[in-house]
Structure 1
């Protein structure tokens, strides 16, 4: 399986809601669409951005890929081996 953000081949992927479930529940909205991403990308997204920013500004795969901090992280992550445990940081 391939991560939809970093495009690495991974054994396991996680489901990321493009609009966080907490946000859709509170606003009584329909559950948003999801993407399959690796745990490193998923942890980095939630380390950098709160749910409000994710819901309003980074709610598409294109927006996530183009966001400067994520873009830099993804470029670096693409060079890492899939089995490597990646540490995420608040700022990249």
Structure 2
């Protein structure tokens, strides 16, 4: 899952704040890849009790804009992304 740096030429599609669990929230930012219409960068900034606790990102390959936005909006119901976020948070505490 490594963190991917956004390209300076990437275009921001939208921002969203999503409650994940109790006091854990995610600030999501979806960026388009300027070189590939079907590739998106989903940046995830995590906050616990309004304090930043980490950040990670996911590259979404083969998605339309609508599909990428849907993945971001429904991140809580995406078992793979939630597992990756959980593993990221636990690895930060080790």
TM-score, normalized by length of structure 2? Answer: 0.36
User: Which has the larger share of helix?
Assistant: 1
